[in-house]
């Protein structure tokens, strides 16, 4: 759960302290987000942390994605244990040509790589978050085993413990994990993932270009980012995917593996939001097994 800021002026104070600039105005956007104008003429977004390590993980993830120089990422203007200050992305509409550039840029971002599956961004904590759910970045020797042990089973167990999934239903997901080496497709090197790439974390700027925000960045399989992008929709998605394929073709059979990669975010949503996502997760497990 998002913690309440200490007081109404705390975001302005955090912005001033972390950027070294005076504040000229502020507007609350949500419980955790405040838009703050600075005396240098720029506007920043100030975010209050969701939990221990959340800000550190997000800031490290944004910097790691930005270091690839492929897809636009807001500049991290400052951060500490409780506050993150980033550049504001002026809102606009997605354009087909920009969606194609996003697809090729995403392919280049993934190709920038990671040291291992589960590797956190440099300077990022092992105990991170995806949304408001804890997510542990523990390195694994190969993708199928790591994906089962670090991305699927932890959220499956939590969902069962909370009664959102029945123990009898969990056997279906466990069967997917047992068969993962045969379902995963050809082995690939660790990709540099955004990690929480649903449509709400892709902003389209005033010029129509795509920006990435709110990462749960780590080393993973590139098909996971693409599957999450498909899960909740994305403007001009087919243009994005076509451009991605043109830049870095996916391994044969990737369409059949979409449900396998969606199992992780669906189980996270099951833990956070309840039974309707449990039904979707079970459907994804059945589809993955049939593929």
Q: How far apart are CA 82 and CA 46, in angstroms?
A: 10
Question: d(Cα 180, Cα 157) in Å, to the nearest integer?
Answer: 18
Query: How far are the Cα atoms of 98, 100, 101, 233, 238 from residue 94, in angstroms, in the given order?
Result: 7, 10, 11, 13, 13
Rounded to 10°, the helix 167-183/258-273 angle is 150
Concerning whether 196 is annotated as a catalytic residue, the answer is: yes
Residue with tokens 């449509």: 199
Q: Which of 50, 196, 214, 225 is catalytic?
A: 196
Measure the CA dihedral 93/96/98/102, to 10°.
110
Residues 6+ apart with CB under 8 A from 161: none
Catalogue the active-site residues.
Answer: 196
């Amino acid at each position: 759960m998002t913690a309440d800021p200490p007081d109404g002026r705390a975001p302005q104070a955090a912005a001033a302290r972390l950027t070294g600039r005076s504040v000229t105005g502020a507007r609350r956007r949500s419980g955790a987000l405040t838009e703050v104008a600075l005396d240098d003429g720029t506007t920043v977004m100030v975010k209050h942390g969701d939990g221990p390590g959340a800000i550190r993980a997000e800031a490290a993830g944004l910097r790691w994605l930005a270091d690839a120089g492929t897809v636009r990422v807001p500049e991290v203007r400052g951060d500490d244990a409780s506050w993150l200050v980033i550049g504001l992305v002026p809102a606009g509409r997605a354009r087909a040509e920009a969606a194609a550039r996003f697809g090729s840029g995403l392919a280049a971002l993934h190709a920038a790589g990671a040291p291992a599956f589960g590797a956190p961004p440099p300077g990022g904590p092992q105990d991170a978050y995806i949304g408001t759910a804890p997510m542990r970045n523990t390195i694994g020797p190969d993708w199928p085993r790591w994906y089962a042990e670090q991305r699927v089973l932890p959220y499956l167990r939590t969902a069962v413990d909370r009664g959102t999934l029945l123990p009898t239903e969990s056997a279906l997901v466990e069967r997917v994990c047992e068969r993962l080496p045969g379902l995963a497709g050809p082995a690939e090197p660790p990709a540099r993932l955004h990690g929480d790439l649903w449509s709400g974390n892709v902003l389209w700027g005033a010029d129509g270009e795509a920006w990435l925000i709110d990462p749960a960045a780590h080393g993973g399989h590139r098909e996971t980012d693409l599957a999450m992008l498909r899960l909740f929709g994305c403007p001009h998605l087919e243009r994005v995917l076509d451009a991605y394929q043109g830049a870095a073709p996916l391994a044969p059979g990737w369409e059949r593996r979409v449900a396998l990669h969606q199992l992780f975010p669906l189980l996270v949503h099951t833990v956070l939001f309840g039974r309707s996502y449990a039904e979707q997760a079970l459907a994804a497990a059945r589809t993955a097994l049939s593929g």
